[in-house]
Copies of this chain bind each other. A is one copy, B any other.
Protein backbone atom coordinates (compact mmCIF):
# COMPACT_ATOMS: atom_id res chain seq x y z
CA UNK A 1 0.00 0.00 0.00
CA UNK A 2 1.15 3.50 -0.88
CA UNK A 3 2.01 5.56 2.16
CA UNK A 4 1.31 9.13 1.12
CA UNK A 5 2.41 10.76 4.35
CA UNK A 6 5.74 8.97 4.27
CA UNK A 7 6.22 9.78 0.61
CA UNK A 8 5.59 13.46 1.33
CA UNK A 9 7.97 13.33 4.28
CA UNK A 10 10.61 11.70 2.09
CA UNK A 11 10.26 14.53 -0.42
CA UNK A 12 10.56 17.17 2.28
CA UNK A 13 13.71 15.56 3.67
CA UNK A 14 15.40 15.09 0.30
CA UNK A 15 14.85 18.40 -1.46
CA UNK A 16 18.59 18.97 -1.80
CA UNK A 17 19.10 15.65 -3.53
CA UNK A 18 16.16 16.26 -5.84
CA UNK A 19 17.55 19.69 -6.66
CA UNK A 20 20.96 18.22 -7.37
CA UNK A 21 19.41 15.78 -9.84
CA UNK A 22 17.43 18.58 -11.53
CA UNK A 23 20.63 20.63 -11.79
CA UNK A 24 22.36 17.70 -13.49
CA UNK A 25 19.62 17.68 -16.11
CA UNK A 26 19.66 21.47 -16.46
CA UNK A 27 23.39 21.38 -17.18
CA UNK A 28 22.74 19.50 -20.40
CA UNK A 29 22.21 22.04 -23.21
CA UNK A 30 19.49 20.09 -24.99
CA UNK A 31 18.43 22.80 -27.47
CA UNK A 32 16.35 20.95 -30.02
CA UNK A 33 16.19 23.50 -32.84
CA UNK A 34 19.94 23.76 -33.34
CA UNK A 35 21.62 20.70 -34.92
CA UNK A 36 24.89 21.38 -33.08
CA UNK A 37 23.16 20.32 -29.84
CA UNK A 38 21.99 16.99 -31.20
CA UNK A 39 24.40 15.12 -28.91
CA UNK A 40 23.13 17.03 -25.89
CA UNK A 41 19.57 16.06 -26.65
CA UNK A 42 20.68 12.43 -26.82
CA UNK A 43 22.49 12.85 -23.50
CA UNK A 44 19.44 14.36 -21.80
CA UNK A 45 17.29 11.47 -23.01
CA UNK A 46 19.83 8.93 -21.75
CA UNK A 47 20.12 10.72 -18.40
CA UNK A 48 16.34 10.53 -17.94
CA UNK A 49 16.14 6.88 -18.94
CA UNK A 50 18.90 6.07 -16.45
CA UNK A 51 17.15 7.98 -13.66
CA UNK A 52 13.90 6.18 -14.36
CA UNK A 53 15.63 2.81 -14.40
CA UNK A 54 17.06 3.74 -11.00
CA UNK A 55 13.58 4.02 -9.54
CA UNK A 56 12.22 0.84 -10.95
CA UNK A 57 10.96 1.86 -14.36
CA UNK A 58 11.46 -0.20 -17.43
CA UNK A 59 12.92 2.71 -19.39
CA UNK A 60 14.48 3.08 -22.81
CA UNK A 61 15.67 5.71 -25.22
CA UNK A 62 13.81 5.37 -28.52
CA UNK A 63 15.31 6.80 -31.68
CA UNK A 64 13.17 8.87 -34.05
CA UNK A 65 13.95 10.72 -37.25
CA UNK A 66 14.78 13.65 -34.94
CA UNK A 67 15.68 13.66 -31.28
CA UNK A 68 14.86 10.51 -29.31
CA UNK A 69 11.88 9.80 -27.09
CA UNK A 70 12.16 8.31 -23.62
CA UNK A 71 9.52 5.71 -22.78
CA UNK A 72 9.26 4.13 -19.35
CA UNK A 73 6.79 1.87 -17.59
CA UNK A 74 6.22 0.98 -13.97
CA UNK A 75 3.44 -1.06 -12.46
CA UNK A 76 1.27 -0.01 -9.57
CA UNK A 77 1.55 -1.80 -6.26
CA UNK A 78 -1.75 -3.56 -6.97
CA UNK A 79 -3.42 -5.19 -9.91
CA UNK A 80 -6.07 -3.42 -12.01
CA UNK A 81 -4.94 0.00 -10.96
CA UNK A 82 -5.73 2.91 -13.27
CA UNK A 83 -3.08 3.63 -15.87
CA UNK A 84 -1.71 7.13 -16.45
CA UNK A 85 0.49 8.36 -19.26
CA UNK A 86 2.73 11.21 -18.14
CA UNK A 87 4.14 13.59 -20.74
CA UNK A 88 6.96 16.12 -20.49
CA UNK A 89 9.72 17.36 -22.76
CA UNK A 90 13.44 17.49 -22.11
CA UNK A 91 14.35 19.84 -24.94
CA UNK A 92 14.71 23.56 -24.31
CA UNK A 93 14.58 26.81 -26.23
CA UNK A 94 17.73 28.45 -27.63
CA UNK A 95 19.37 30.91 -25.24
CA UNK A 96 19.99 33.94 -27.42
CA UNK A 97 20.28 36.80 -26.74
CA UNK A 98 22.97 35.33 -24.52
CA UNK A 99 24.20 38.74 -23.36
CA UNK A 100 20.92 39.31 -21.51
CA UNK A 101 21.53 36.33 -19.23
CA UNK A 102 22.98 37.25 -15.86
CA UNK A 103 24.85 33.94 -15.74
CA UNK A 104 25.45 30.89 -17.94
CA UNK A 105 22.01 29.50 -18.92
CA UNK A 106 23.35 25.98 -18.41
CA UNK A 107 24.92 26.62 -15.01
CA UNK A 108 21.81 26.28 -12.84
CA UNK A 109 21.77 28.11 -9.50
CA UNK A 110 19.48 29.00 -6.67
CA UNK A 111 18.79 32.72 -6.41
CA UNK A 112 17.27 34.53 -3.46
CA UNK A 113 14.29 36.62 -4.53
CA UNK A 114 11.88 38.73 -2.44
CA UNK A 115 9.22 36.01 -2.41
CA UNK A 116 11.51 33.01 -1.99
CA UNK A 117 14.22 31.12 -3.81
CA UNK A 118 14.24 30.57 -7.54
CA UNK A 119 15.95 28.01 -9.75
CA UNK A 120 17.53 29.95 -12.62
CA UNK A 121 18.56 28.15 -15.83
CA UNK A 122 17.32 27.52 -19.35
CA UNK A 123 14.64 24.84 -18.99
CA UNK A 124 14.18 25.30 -15.25
CA UNK A 125 10.48 25.95 -15.83
CA UNK A 126 9.97 24.80 -19.42
CA UNK A 127 9.98 21.89 -19.00
CA UNK A 128 12.79 20.14 -17.09
CA UNK A 129 11.79 21.50 -13.67
CA UNK A 130 8.18 20.58 -14.30
CA UNK A 131 8.81 17.04 -15.53
CA UNK A 132 11.18 16.34 -12.65
CA UNK A 133 8.38 17.12 -10.17
CA UNK A 134 6.70 13.99 -11.49
CA UNK A 135 9.87 11.86 -11.56
CA UNK A 136 10.67 12.82 -7.97
CA UNK A 137 7.10 12.08 -6.89
CA UNK A 138 7.43 8.60 -8.41
CA UNK A 139 10.78 8.12 -6.63
CA UNK A 140 9.22 9.00 -3.28
CA UNK A 141 6.23 6.75 -3.90
CA UNK A 142 8.44 3.83 -4.95
CA UNK A 143 10.31 4.26 -1.68
CA UNK A 144 7.11 4.33 0.33
CA UNK A 145 4.93 1.44 -0.70
CA UNK A 146 4.96 1.80 -4.46
CA UNK A 147 2.96 3.56 -7.15
CA UNK A 148 -0.81 3.84 -6.76
CA UNK A 149 -1.30 3.74 -10.56
CA UNK A 150 0.32 2.01 -13.46
CA UNK A 151 2.56 4.71 -14.90
CA UNK A 152 3.86 5.13 -18.41
CA UNK A 153 6.16 8.06 -19.01
CA UNK A 154 6.78 9.69 -22.39
CA UNK A 155 9.47 12.33 -22.62
CA UNK A 156 9.86 14.15 -25.90
CA UNK A 157 12.88 16.04 -27.22
CA UNK A 158 11.28 18.11 -29.97
CA UNK A 159 8.51 20.09 -28.30
CA UNK A 160 10.25 23.40 -28.88
CA UNK A 161 10.52 22.76 -32.59
CA UNK A 162 6.96 21.61 -33.27
CA UNK A 163 7.10 17.92 -32.30
CA UNK A 164 7.75 16.69 -35.86
CA UNK A 165 8.38 13.06 -34.79
CA UNK A 166 5.58 12.77 -32.27
CA UNK A 167 2.57 11.94 -34.48
CA UNK A 168 4.30 9.01 -36.16
CA UNK A 169 5.71 7.83 -32.83
CA UNK A 170 2.28 7.82 -31.18
CA UNK A 171 0.80 5.97 -34.13
CA UNK A 172 3.55 3.36 -34.13
CA UNK A 173 3.43 2.83 -30.36
CA UNK A 174 -0.28 3.14 -29.79
CA UNK A 175 -0.57 -0.10 -27.84
CA UNK A 176 2.42 0.51 -25.65
CA UNK A 177 1.19 4.00 -24.76
CA UNK A 178 -2.35 2.91 -23.92
CA UNK A 179 -3.61 4.48 -20.70
CA UNK A 180 -6.75 5.82 -19.03
CA UNK A 181 -5.73 9.43 -19.00
CA UNK A 182 -2.75 11.59 -19.92
CA UNK A 183 -1.05 13.80 -17.35
CA UNK A 184 0.77 16.76 -18.82
CA UNK A 185 3.00 19.01 -16.75
CA UNK A 186 3.72 21.99 -18.99
CA UNK A 187 1.25 24.64 -17.77
CA UNK A 188 0.92 27.29 -15.06
CA UNK A 189 -0.48 27.70 -11.60
CA UNK A 190 -2.94 30.55 -11.11
CA UNK A 191 -0.45 32.26 -8.80
CA UNK A 192 2.35 31.14 -6.46
CA UNK A 193 -0.15 29.78 -3.95
CA UNK A 194 -3.10 28.71 -6.05
CA UNK A 195 -3.07 25.50 -8.06
CA UNK A 196 -4.70 25.32 -11.45
CA UNK A 197 -5.82 22.69 -13.92
CA UNK A 198 -6.15 23.64 -17.57
CA UNK A 199 -9.32 22.01 -18.83
CA UNK A 200 -10.12 23.94 -22.01
CA UNK A 201 -7.92 24.56 -25.02
CA UNK A 202 -9.33 26.56 -27.86
CA UNK A 203 -9.18 24.96 -31.27
CA UNK A 204 -7.91 26.73 -34.35
CA UNK A 205 -9.00 27.12 -37.92
CA UNK A 206 -6.40 29.05 -39.90
CA UNK A 207 -7.42 29.96 -43.41
CA UNK A 208 -5.98 32.20 -46.05
CA UNK A 209 -8.08 33.94 -48.66
CA UNK A 210 -6.83 35.44 -51.91
CA UNK A 211 -9.16 37.83 -53.73
CA UNK A 212 -8.38 38.05 -57.43
CA UNK A 213 -9.77 40.84 -59.57
CA UNK A 214 -8.10 42.11 -62.75
CA UNK A 215 -5.69 39.91 -64.66
CA UNK A 216 -2.83 42.25 -63.80
CA UNK A 217 -2.00 45.28 -61.68
CA UNK A 218 -3.67 48.38 -63.10
CA UNK A 219 -2.96 52.10 -63.04
CA UNK A 220 -5.40 53.77 -60.68
CA UNK A 221 -5.61 56.78 -62.99
CA UNK A 222 -6.52 54.72 -66.04
CA UNK A 223 -8.82 52.26 -64.27
CA UNK A 224 -9.66 53.82 -60.90
CA UNK A 225 -13.43 53.74 -60.57
CA UNK A 226 -14.65 51.08 -62.99
CA UNK A 227 -12.10 48.39 -62.11
CA UNK A 228 -12.79 46.19 -59.10
CA UNK A 229 -10.31 46.80 -56.30
CA UNK A 230 -9.50 43.59 -54.42
CA UNK A 231 -8.38 45.49 -51.30
CA UNK A 232 -11.76 47.20 -51.14
CA UNK A 233 -13.56 43.89 -51.66
CA UNK A 234 -11.41 42.18 -49.04
CA UNK A 235 -11.98 45.00 -46.55
CA UNK A 236 -15.75 44.64 -46.97
CA UNK A 237 -15.53 40.90 -46.49
CA UNK A 238 -13.37 41.17 -43.38
CA UNK A 239 -15.42 44.02 -41.92
CA UNK A 240 -18.52 41.85 -42.30
CA UNK A 241 -17.17 39.07 -40.09
CA UNK A 242 -18.18 40.76 -36.81
CA UNK A 243 -21.34 42.54 -35.78
CA UNK A 244 -21.45 45.68 -33.69
CA UNK A 245 -21.36 43.60 -30.50
CA UNK A 246 -18.17 41.83 -31.52
CA UNK A 247 -19.95 38.58 -32.32
CA UNK A 248 -18.91 36.59 -35.37
CA UNK A 249 -21.59 36.82 -38.06
CA UNK A 250 -21.01 33.51 -39.88
CA UNK A 251 -24.25 31.50 -39.85
CA UNK A 252 -24.00 28.61 -37.40
CA UNK A 253 -20.74 29.88 -35.95
CA UNK A 254 -21.92 29.49 -32.34
CA UNK A 255 -23.29 25.96 -32.84
CA UNK A 256 -21.59 23.79 -30.24
CA UNK A 257 -20.58 26.67 -27.98
CA UNK A 258 -21.88 26.05 -24.46
CA UNK A 259 -22.15 28.30 -21.45
CA UNK A 260 -19.83 27.55 -18.54
CA UNK A 261 -21.12 25.38 -15.67
CA UNK A 262 -22.42 27.69 -12.94
CA UNK A 263 -19.67 26.80 -10.46
CA UNK A 264 -16.91 27.48 -12.97
CA UNK A 265 -18.52 30.76 -14.02
CA UNK A 266 -18.71 31.73 -10.38
CA UNK A 267 -15.08 30.76 -9.78
CA UNK A 268 -13.93 32.87 -12.73
CA UNK A 269 -15.92 35.86 -11.55
CA UNK A 270 -14.28 35.56 -8.15
CA UNK A 271 -10.75 35.22 -9.52
CA UNK A 272 -8.46 38.14 -8.81
CA UNK A 273 -8.02 38.79 -12.51
CA UNK A 274 -7.44 42.40 -13.42
CA UNK A 275 -8.60 42.94 -17.01
CA UNK A 276 -7.25 46.49 -16.94
CA UNK A 277 -3.82 45.18 -16.00
CA UNK A 278 -3.98 42.36 -18.55
CA UNK A 279 -4.74 44.78 -21.38
CA UNK A 280 -2.69 47.63 -19.96
CA UNK A 281 0.39 45.41 -20.03
CA UNK A 282 0.24 45.51 -23.84
CA UNK A 283 -0.84 49.12 -24.15
CA UNK A 284 -4.58 48.58 -24.48
CA UNK A 285 -7.57 49.41 -22.28
CA UNK A 286 -10.82 48.63 -24.09
CA UNK A 287 -11.83 44.92 -24.27
CA UNK A 288 -12.46 44.32 -27.96
CA UNK A 289 -14.20 40.95 -27.76
CA UNK A 290 -17.84 40.00 -27.48
CA UNK A 291 -19.91 42.47 -25.51
CA UNK A 292 -21.28 41.11 -22.24
CA UNK A 293 -18.42 38.63 -21.76
CA UNK A 294 -15.61 39.06 -19.27
CA UNK A 295 -12.07 39.17 -20.60
CA UNK A 296 -11.38 35.72 -19.09
CA UNK A 297 -14.39 34.31 -20.90
CA UNK A 298 -13.24 36.03 -24.09
CA UNK A 299 -9.85 34.34 -24.03
CA UNK A 300 -10.74 30.96 -22.49
CA UNK A 301 -14.31 30.10 -23.28
CA UNK A 302 -15.45 32.08 -26.30
CA UNK A 303 -14.62 31.57 -29.95
CA UNK A 304 -13.04 34.36 -31.95
CA UNK A 305 -12.31 35.44 -35.46
CA UNK A 306 -9.07 37.31 -36.01
CA UNK A 307 -7.17 38.61 -38.99
CA UNK A 308 -3.53 37.63 -38.58
CA UNK A 309 -2.16 39.13 -41.74
CA UNK A 310 -3.18 41.13 -44.76
CA UNK A 311 -1.34 42.25 -47.86
CA UNK A 312 -2.16 43.72 -51.21
CA UNK A 313 -0.90 46.30 -53.68
CA UNK A 314 2.04 48.55 -53.07
CA UNK A 315 3.45 48.37 -49.57
CA UNK A 316 6.83 50.03 -49.94
CA UNK A 317 7.81 53.59 -49.12
CA UNK A 318 5.86 56.45 -50.64
CA UNK A 319 3.15 56.30 -53.25
CA UNK A 320 2.33 54.09 -56.19
CA UNK A 321 -0.95 54.58 -57.95
CA UNK A 322 -1.61 50.93 -58.49
CA UNK A 323 -4.87 49.00 -58.43
CA UNK A 324 -3.62 45.57 -57.46
CA UNK A 325 -4.73 42.41 -59.19
CA UNK A 326 -5.10 40.62 -55.87
CA UNK A 327 -5.17 41.01 -52.11
CA UNK A 328 -4.90 38.36 -49.46
CA UNK A 329 -5.60 37.88 -45.79
CA UNK A 330 -4.87 35.24 -43.20
CA UNK A 331 -7.88 34.73 -40.99
CA UNK A 332 -8.05 32.47 -37.97
CA UNK A 333 -10.83 31.27 -35.75
CA UNK A 334 -10.29 30.12 -32.18
CA UNK A 335 -12.83 27.43 -31.43
CA UNK A 336 -14.37 26.22 -28.19
CA UNK A 337 -16.65 23.41 -27.05
CA UNK A 338 -18.04 21.33 -29.88
CA UNK A 339 -17.60 23.79 -32.75
CA UNK A 340 -16.80 21.84 -35.90
CA UNK A 341 -13.76 23.14 -37.80
CA UNK A 342 -15.05 21.90 -41.17
CA UNK A 343 -18.33 23.77 -40.74
CA UNK A 344 -16.51 26.97 -39.80
CA UNK A 345 -14.29 26.71 -42.87
CA UNK A 346 -17.34 26.20 -45.07
CA UNK A 347 -19.21 29.14 -43.55
CA UNK A 348 -16.18 31.39 -43.94
CA UNK A 349 -15.69 30.46 -47.58
CA UNK A 350 -19.39 31.04 -48.25
CA UNK A 351 -19.16 34.46 -46.57
CA UNK A 352 -16.21 35.38 -48.79
CA UNK A 353 -17.95 34.23 -51.96
CA UNK A 354 -21.08 36.17 -51.06
CA UNK A 355 -18.98 39.34 -50.97
CA UNK A 356 -17.44 38.86 -54.41
CA UNK A 357 -18.50 40.74 -57.53
CA UNK A 358 -19.33 38.40 -60.40
CA UNK A 359 -16.01 38.98 -62.17
CA UNK A 360 -13.75 38.41 -59.19
CA UNK A 361 -12.78 35.18 -57.59
CA UNK A 362 -11.48 33.87 -54.32
CA UNK A 363 -8.92 31.20 -53.64
CA UNK A 364 -8.39 29.58 -50.28
CA UNK A 365 -5.41 28.00 -48.61
CA UNK A 366 -5.94 25.96 -45.47
CA UNK A 367 -3.30 26.28 -42.79
CA UNK A 368 -4.93 23.85 -40.40
CA UNK A 369 -8.20 23.16 -38.68
CA UNK A 370 -8.40 21.54 -35.26
CA UNK A 371 -11.27 21.38 -32.80
CA UNK A 372 -11.23 22.69 -29.25
CA UNK A 373 -10.17 20.23 -26.56
CA UNK A 374 -12.12 20.08 -23.37
CA UNK A 375 -11.65 17.80 -20.42
CA UNK A 376 -15.31 17.24 -19.50
CA UNK A 377 -16.20 19.17 -16.36
CA UNK A 378 -17.85 15.98 -15.09
CA UNK A 379 -14.69 13.88 -15.51
CA UNK A 380 -13.99 11.88 -12.30
CA UNK A 381 -10.21 12.28 -12.82
CA UNK A 382 -10.71 16.06 -12.88
CA UNK A 383 -12.60 15.96 -9.57
CA UNK A 384 -9.94 13.78 -7.97
CA UNK A 385 -7.03 15.89 -9.14
CA UNK A 386 -8.83 19.06 -8.20
CA UNK A 387 -9.35 17.85 -4.64
CA UNK A 388 -5.81 16.47 -4.37
CA UNK A 389 -4.30 19.79 -5.38
CA UNK A 390 -6.55 21.65 -2.97
CA UNK A 391 -5.42 19.43 -0.09
CA UNK A 392 -1.77 20.17 -0.95
CA UNK A 393 -2.05 23.94 -1.46
CA UNK A 394 -4.91 24.74 0.89
CA UNK A 395 -6.69 26.74 -1.77
CA UNK A 396 -9.41 25.92 -4.26
CA UNK A 397 -8.01 24.63 -7.54
CA UNK A 398 -8.80 27.00 -10.38
CA UNK A 399 -10.08 25.43 -13.57
CA UNK A 400 -8.59 27.56 -16.28
CA UNK A 401 -8.77 27.67 -20.00
CA UNK A 402 -6.05 28.40 -22.47
CA UNK A 403 -6.67 30.72 -25.36
CA UNK A 404 -4.05 29.00 -27.46
CA UNK A 405 -3.81 25.50 -28.80
CA UNK A 406 -1.36 22.87 -27.43
CA UNK A 407 -0.84 20.48 -30.35
CA UNK A 408 0.31 17.60 -28.12
CA UNK A 409 -3.03 17.50 -26.33
CA UNK A 410 -4.75 17.23 -29.68
CA UNK A 411 -2.43 14.40 -30.71
CA UNK A 412 -3.13 12.47 -27.51
CA UNK A 413 -6.82 12.81 -28.30
CA UNK A 414 -6.60 11.94 -31.98
CA UNK A 415 -3.89 9.26 -31.87
CA UNK A 416 -4.40 7.69 -28.45
CA UNK A 417 -7.99 8.73 -27.74
CA UNK A 418 -6.82 10.14 -24.40
CA UNK A 419 -8.12 13.12 -22.48
CA UNK A 420 -5.38 15.13 -20.83
CA UNK A 421 -5.23 16.46 -17.31
CA UNK A 422 -2.98 19.49 -17.53
CA UNK A 423 -1.47 20.19 -14.15
CA UNK A 424 1.52 22.49 -14.02
CA UNK A 425 3.36 24.60 -11.49
CA UNK A 426 4.95 27.23 -13.69
CA UNK A 427 4.11 30.91 -13.39
CA UNK A 428 3.45 33.62 -15.94
CA UNK A 429 6.58 35.33 -14.56
CA UNK A 430 8.92 32.40 -15.29
CA UNK A 431 10.37 34.02 -18.44
CA UNK A 432 10.15 30.81 -20.41
CA UNK A 433 11.74 31.22 -23.87
CA UNK A 434 13.51 34.35 -22.53
CA UNK A 435 16.77 35.15 -20.79
CA UNK A 436 17.04 34.30 -17.07
CA UNK A 437 14.29 31.68 -17.13
CA UNK A 438 13.42 30.63 -13.58
CA UNK A 439 11.24 28.20 -11.67
CA UNK A 440 10.11 28.99 -8.15
CA UNK A 441 11.59 26.61 -5.58
CA UNK A 442 8.08 26.57 -4.09
CA UNK A 443 6.77 25.35 -7.45
CA UNK A 444 9.34 22.56 -7.52
CA UNK A 445 8.68 21.46 -3.94
CA UNK A 446 4.90 21.87 -4.10
CA UNK A 447 4.86 20.24 -7.53
CA UNK A 448 6.60 17.07 -6.29
CA UNK A 449 4.21 16.84 -3.33
CA UNK A 450 1.21 17.56 -5.57
CA UNK A 451 1.94 14.64 -7.87
CA UNK A 452 2.14 12.26 -4.91
CA UNK A 453 -1.35 13.35 -3.91
CA UNK A 454 -2.74 13.40 -7.46
CA UNK A 455 -1.42 9.90 -8.22
CA UNK A 456 -2.81 8.66 -4.94
CA UNK A 457 -6.21 10.21 -5.73
CA UNK A 458 -6.28 8.84 -9.27
CA UNK A 459 -5.37 5.41 -7.93
CA UNK A 460 -8.48 5.21 -5.80
Contacts and interface: CB of A to CB of B under 8 A. Distances in A.
Interface in A88-123: none
Contacts of A288: 225-229, 357
Contacts of A319: 206, 308, 330, 332, 367-368
A299 B224 contact: yes
A275 interface: yes
A327 interface: yes
Interface in A200-240: 202, 204, 206, 213-216, 218-229, 231-232, 234-236, 238-240
Contacts of A282: 214-216, 218, 223, 227
Interface stretch (A153-161, A346-354, A397-405): A397-405
B311 A323 contact: no
Contacts of A202: 221
A374 interface: no
A403 to B, nearest CB: 4
A323 B330 CA distance: 11
With most chain B CB atoms within 10 A of its CB, the pick from A224, A282, A290 is A224
A225 B284 contact: no
A284 B214 contact: yes
Given A238-B235, A239-B236, A404-B221, A307 B368 contact: no
Interface string A327-367: 11110101000000000000000000000011110000001
A314 B334 contact: no
A220 B220 CA distance: 35
Given A204-B321, A221-B334, A310 B313 contact: yes
Given A226-B275, A232-B307, A310-B310, A283 B330 contact: no
Contacts of A318: 367
B367 A224 contact: no
A305 B213 CA distance: 17
B307 A231 contact: yes
B307 A404 contact: no
Given A225-B302, A299-B225, A359-B285, A315 B309 contact: yes
B298 A229 contact: no
Given A311-B311, A330-B314, A284 B227 contact: yes
A307 B216 CA distance: 16
Contacts of A279: 226-227, 359
Contacts of A231: 238, 307-310, 329
Nearest to A328: B315
A302 B327 CA distance: 25
A83 to B, nearest CB: 31
Contacts of A290: 225
A219 to B, nearest CB: 6
A124 interface: no
B228 A299 contact: no
B309 A320 contact: yes
B239 A332 contact: no
A352 B92 CA distance: 45
Contacts of A37: none
Nearest to A320: B308
A334 B302 contact: no
A176 interface: no
Given A319-B368, A321-B204, A358 B285 contact: yes
Contacts of A295: 225-226
A304 interface: yes
A65 interface: no
Contacts of A307: 229, 231-232, 235, 312-313
13 contacts: A215-B283, A220-B304, A220-B306, A220-B403, A225-B299, A226-B289, A231-B308, A232-B239, A232-B242, A238-B239, A311-B315, A319-B332, A320-B330
In the A-B complex, list the 9 residue pairs whose CB atoms are closest, starting with the nearest.
Answer: A221-B404, A215-B283, A225-B298, A309-B313, A225-B289, A319-B367, A239-B239, A231-B307, A235-B238
Given A234-B310, A309-B312, A318-B367, 17 more contacts: A204-B321, A214-B284, A220-B304, A221-B405, A222-B299, A222-B404, A224-B304, A231-B238, A239-B240, A279-B359, A308-B321, A308-B324, A309-B320, A310-B312, A310-B313, A311-B311, A313-B330
